[in-house]
Chain A
Amino acid sequence: MDKNQIRHIGELARLEFGDEELEQFAEQFGRIIEFVEKVAELDVEGLEPMISPLDEAAVRLRPDTPGETLSHEDALKNAPDNKEGLFGVPRII
Chain B
Amino acid sequence: MELHQLPVHILIDLIREGRTSPASVREYFARRIDQLNGDLNAFITVLDFARDDSGDGKPLAGVPVAVKDNISVAGVRLTCGSRMLENFEAVYDATAVARLKQAGAVIAGKTNLDEFAMGSSNEYSYFGAVKNPADPERVPGGSSGGSAAAVAAGMVPAALGSDTGGSVRQPASFCGIVGFKPSYGRISRWGLVAFASSLDQIGFLTRDVRDAALLYEITAGPDEHDATMIQSPPERVDFNMWNDRTPRVAVLSQSFSDSVAESIRDRIGEIASKLGAEKIEIPELEYAVPIYYIIAPAEASANLARYDGVRYGFRAEDVADAVDLYFRTRTQGFGPEVKRRIMIGTFVLSAGYQDEYFKRAQKGRRLLANKLGEVFERFDFVISPTTTTAAFRFGERTEDPISMYLSDYFTVIANLIGAPAISIPVHREGELPYGLQIMAAPRHDAELLSFAAAVEEKFV
Interface residues of A (CB under 8 A from B): 6, 9-10, 12-17, 25, 28-29, 31-33, 35-42, 44, 47-54, 56-57, 60-62, 70, 74, 77-81, 87, 89-92
Contacts and interface: CB of A to CB of B under 8 A. Distances in A.
Contact of A36 (B294, B309, B315, B331): B294
B366 A32 contact: no
6 contacts: A15-B334, A15-B339, A15-B343, A32-B340, A36-B293, A57-B228
Nearest to A8: B350
Given A48-B363, A49-B362, A32 B344 contact: yes
B418 interface: yes
B228 A52 contact: yes
B228 A39 contact: no
A61 B224 CA distance: 11
Contacts, number: 166
Contacts of B230: 54
A61 B322 CA distance: 34
Nearest to A52: B198
A14 B356 CA distance: 23
Interface residues of B, number: 73
B49 interface: no
Given A9-B347, A42-B360, A32 B319 contact: no
Nearest to B363: A44
A58 B313 CA distance: 30
Contacts of B326: 14
A52 B331 CA distance: 30
A38 B290 contact: yes
A25 to B, nearest CB: 8
A47 B365 CA distance: 10
Contact of A90 (B322, B340, B370): B322
B227 A14 contact: no
Contact of B325 (A70, A77, A78, A90): A90
Nearest to B314: A80
Contacts of B319: 90
Interface string B351-390: 0000011011111111101100000000000000000000
B401 interface: yes
A89 B322 contact: yes
Interface string B404-422: 0100000000001110000
A54 to B, nearest CB: 5
Contacts of A77: 89, 91
Given A36-B348, A42-B367, 11 more contacts: A9-B347, A10-B343, A29-B340, A29-B344, A42-B364, A47-B363, A53-B183, A53-B184, A53-B418, A54-B228, A79-B311
A14 B402 contact: no
B242 interface: no
A79 B309 CA distance: 8
B185 interface: yes
Contacts of B293: 32, 35-36
Contact of A39 (B183, B287, B334): B287
A89 B310 contact: yes
Contacts of A29: 340, 343-344, 347
Interface in B306-353: 308-315, 319-323, 325-328, 330-331, 334, 339-340, 342-348, 350
A6 B87 CA distance: 31
Contacts of A53: 183-185, 198, 369, 416-418, 442
Nearest to A71: B91
A46 to B, nearest CB: 9
Given A15-B327, A15-B339, A47-B367, A92 B321 contact: yes
A83 B11 CA distance: 49
A82 to B, nearest CB: 10
